[in-house]
Structure 1
């Protein structure tokens, strides 16, 4: 899709959580072109095409040639993003079909699950992110004639502020069973920030609430690969909560944690290089679901 005068700029294209949204869109677009793809995101490529020249290195390098600075980064994380996307797709759909038809996508970025998944009738998906990210995404999807496959509610909020208030103002009911998604988020928070995020999720969850997320450690190889893309991405990893299982249990959640390498093998993929336990210097990566027990 060519950029039009009505397509808004994305000023956060290289900063923080919002800045990684286009990088994830790039990886999802590449996965969607594979004949053995784990999912199909027909909109990911459109977000990249809508960014003006120079607006983001992620958008500028959609082909990832051999000489690209993205090559090392993609080699390390592409399979991890593909596997986590499919894993979290399946987890959220299962939760919604089990009666948790109120779904909250935290730091939703270029997530298009509201548009591409087969949600059960009565599902409401709340997309929470900054106003500029939400506006950019909505404009691109509207130009494509895309329509959500559920009730989709945008919530403009900063996760560093009182986002539960903004969520409630958009119609969210904490008394209803809810499925929460925190994808590509926890490792970018300091430990105290991850604690606060989970405390707020817990405080706004009815018994039986459901949470799905991914988490990963950082490594020298990952830091070096991010530095080749953009220097500001080096500090993206802040550590998050550490081991996700004990952390969830401490906050009243019953966790189910799967190693990302094992999940990849379950989908017929090799272990992602950055998280392959057979490779020296690799990191641990996890895919997690949990149910509120308190």
Structure 2
């Protein structure tokens, strides 16, 4: 599959996989993801790092720390939710997420991977021969369409608690679209369900780095929720606490990710959040 390409969000997920591959190569890595480099090589061949577009290095310097910290935080949040009774996990716009293969899920866990059919087909091809550590269920759909119906058809059980993941997608939604996404999750979630996500409004440092790569990438960042994460969740019955990404990084022994470091010019806020739906 060497040299295969994906468009839009699918292509962006390869860039995120590249950042996870960089973290996986560190001796002090925050998580294990041996599959990230497979995705990169399948999409762009063995020379991905040498053929990366202009501006990639600068963007990676800004975002690699955030991707490393958010991956570990969200890994921990999902595993904790499943250990506390959520036997269903829904990965929305999953991209090149390999959690079904790399995390130690409790017995009986079902992981629903929701994304475009071509993204899921590409990923399954790359992972052919690998064994998931859970019951992995592909849900080929578009988040702009009736994805709740597709999820139900895939045997998702709305009456049972589930862990929901929205990683790396809220920034690409308008405020209204972000509200609709959370409303749909809430409608499908039984009391005791958990939602976990990252969010960061755009900031000058990020926009300059994206613009240096391509105009299309620059415009991908739309905005996401207008309310701060705690108020956004609380208005729909989700109780939890959003943490500043720099605070989480410090807890993992890492410096503040540059794009979100308040000591750096052009930076802005970023959050990681976990919340539970009250009954």
TM-score under structure 1 length normalisation:
0.91
Which residue of 27, 30, 38 corresponds with 1:35? 27
- Matching residue of 2:115: 129
Matching residue of 1:282: 267
**Which of 198, 201, 224 does residue 182 from structure 2 map onto?**
198
Q: Which residue number corresponds to residue 252 of structure 1?
A: 237
Shift of 1:69: 2.1
2:90 to 78, 86, 104: 104
- Are 2:209 and 1:225 equivalent residues in the alignment? yes
Misfit runs of 4+, over 4 Å:
none
CA RMSD of superposed structures (Å): 1.7
How far the C-alpha of 1:104 sits from its partner, in A, is: 0.1
Q: Deviation of residue 238 (structure 1)?
A: 1.1
**Greater mean deviation of Cα atoms: 108-117 or 270-279:** 270-279
- Asked whether 1:62 is paired with 2:54, we answer no
Match of 1:237 among 221, 227, 245: 221
Query: How many residues of Structure 1 are paired with residues of Structure 2 in the alignment?
Result: 278
Cα 1:23–1:218 change in 2 (3 A) is same
1:184-229 deviation line (CA, Å, top 9, x unaligned):
0111100000000000000000011100000001112211111222
CA distance in 2, matches of 1:130, 1:87: 25
Instruction: Indicate the SS of the match to 1:208.
Output: coil
Among 169, 173, 182, which residue is 1:189 paired with? 173
More divergent stretch after superposition (239-248 vs 196-205) = 239-248
The farther-off stretch of 67-76 and 172-181 is 67-76
Corresponding residue to 2:37 among 45, 50, 69: 45
CA offset digits 1:24-58 (Å, max 9, x no partner): 100000000001100111011111111256xxxxx
Aligned partners of 1:126, 1:171: CA distance in 2, in Å? 9
Tell me, yes or no, if the aligned pair for 1:48 and 1:62 is still in contact at 8 Å: no
Q: 2:71 aligns with which of 85, 88, 93?
A: 85
1:76 aligned residue (62, 72, 79): 62
Work out whether 1:272 is the aligned partner of 2:257. Answer: yes
For 1:128-176, what per-residue CA distance to the aligned partner results, in whole angstroms no more than 9, with x for missing partners? Answer: 000000000000100xx21100000000010000100000011101001
SS at match of 1:153: strand
Is the CA contact (8 Å cut-off) linking 2:54 and 2:212 kept in structure 1? no
Quote how far apart the aligned CAs of 1:101 are.
1.1
State the shift of 1:72 in Å.
0.9
**Whole-angstrom CA distance in 1 between matches of 2:156 and 2:27:** 39
Kept in 1: contact 2:93–2:114 (CA 8 A): yes
Unaligned runs of 5+ in 2: none
Question: What secondary structure is seen at the aligned counterpart in 2 of 1:51?
Answer: helix
Distance 1:63 1:119 in 2: 36
Q: How many angstroms does 1:237 deviate by?
A: 1.2
d(CA) in 1 for partners of 2:44, 2:203: 32
C-alpha contact 1:100 1:177 (8 A) present in aligned 2: yes
Which residue of 197, 200, 214 maps to 2:198? 214
Which residue in the other structure is 2:6 paired with? 11
Following superposition, the deviation at residue 252 of structure 1 comes to 1.1
1:20 to 12, 18, 40: 12
Alpha-carbon distance in structure 2 between the residues aligned to 1:64 and 1:274 = 24
